[in-house]
Amino acid sequence: MGALDFSFLSWGVIQSFVLKGFLFSLQLTLIAMVGGIVLGTLLALMRLSGKPWLEIPAAAYVNTMRSIPLVMVILWFFLLIPKLLGQPLGAEVSAIITFTLFEAAYYSEIMRAGIQSVPRGQVYAGYAVGMSYSQTMQLIVLPQAFRNMLPVLLTQTIILFQDTSLVYAIGAYDLLKGFEVAGKNFNRPVETYLVAAVLYFVICFSLSMLVRRLQKKIAIIR
């Protein structure tokens, strides 16, 4: 086995092979985060509604998604949905939809914990001044729940970014795929995978440090 050689990894190579994948991984993370939080919040409200016809389907959805490996959900959606629709969705579109639906189950549990962390007395105070259930949730409960759970939501988003590497299973061109293609073109797969691992570590560790600082600031505010 020859010595490791990283000299081929110039900025031109990064632009040609890696940058496209990084932008898709970033896009996938942001869309799945926003969509997952919105859908997850709705699922959390359904589970806390006290109405069986809302609570049972939401609980079934969340528990099912949380019990299946993400890579299996990615493959099922990519292979089965086009058969039902009669046309292919494409790897990128399929990945975005799958990640949004899957992450919603995890964001739902985070938001449910956040909503339950708000003292019930504040809910009753909202009712006392004439607010409806939806107004109380929108104006009193959800803003506090988001603030309380913001560090956890961001931590889940970091995990989501790491999980985007799983789209290799359906051939989507993400950050890891970009490094893989570069490695094949220059016959240096070991070097490219090592650099990919370092880059993932630097990105995720840096974001984790920012989340930790944010968590300390929120604790001071409380």
Confidence bin at 117 (pLDDT 50/70/90): confident
User: CA–CA separation, 67 vs 178, rounded Å?
Assistant: 30
> Residue 127's pLDDT band (boundaries 50, 70, 90)?
confident
pLDDT tens-place string over residues 43-92: 999 999 889 999 999 999 999 999 999 999 999 999 998 888 888 888 99
Rounded to the nearest 5 degrees, what angle is found at the Cα of 3, between the Cα atoms of 19 and 189? 35
Per-residue model confidence (pLDDT) at position 58: 96
Nearest CA to 113 out of 43, 33, 179 is that of: 43
Q: Give the pLDDT of residue 222.
A: 56
Average pLDDT, stretch 23-30? Answer: 97
Predicted local distance difference test score (pLDDT) of residue 215:
85
User: Which of 203, 167, 178 minimizes the C-alpha distance to 95?
Assistant: 167
Mean pLDDT of 114-123: 86
Token pair 């090592």 is found at: 194
Name the least confident of 115-119, 161-165, 195-199. Answer: 115-119
Q: Are 63 and 75 in contact (CB under 8 A)?
A: no
What's the longest Cα–Cα distance across the chain?
75
Q: Mean pLDDT of all residues in the chain? A: 91
Question: Model pTM?
Answer: 0.91
End-to-end CA distance of the chain: 57
